[in-house]
Amino acid sequence: MDQIEYSVAYVDTRGRISRDGVEFIRKSGEHRTSFLSRYMTALGKEGWSLAGIQHLGRPETAYYVLQRPLAEGASAVAEQTPDD
């Protein structure tokens, strides 16, 4: 069975996406849909695909859950939470 790695991006369609400490900012005059398409295309080039969306309190904000196959030879290391 193939292993998968996950990443979570905070998406605010008004102009900012944050993932792993890196900010992706909407260009001046860029439409929201173009902004999201540009970001998703960049992720696709890195092998990521969208696994799910968790909408937050406002309609323009959400967590995007991303997934991609784990690179050969890499190990999936899960951090343990206090409940584990």
Domain assignments of the chain as residue spans, ordered by start: 18-69
Q: State pTM to two decimals.
A: 0.79
Q: Which residue has the tokens 């193939």?
A: 2
- Summarised one tens digit per residue, pLDDT across range 6-39 is 999 999 999 999 999 999 999 999 999 999 999 9
- Summarised one tens digit per residue, pLDDT across range 40-83 is 999 999 999 999 999 999 889 999 999 999 987 776 555 544 55
- Could you tell me which residues are beta bridge partners of residue 63? 10, 54
- Amino acid 78: pLDDT: 55
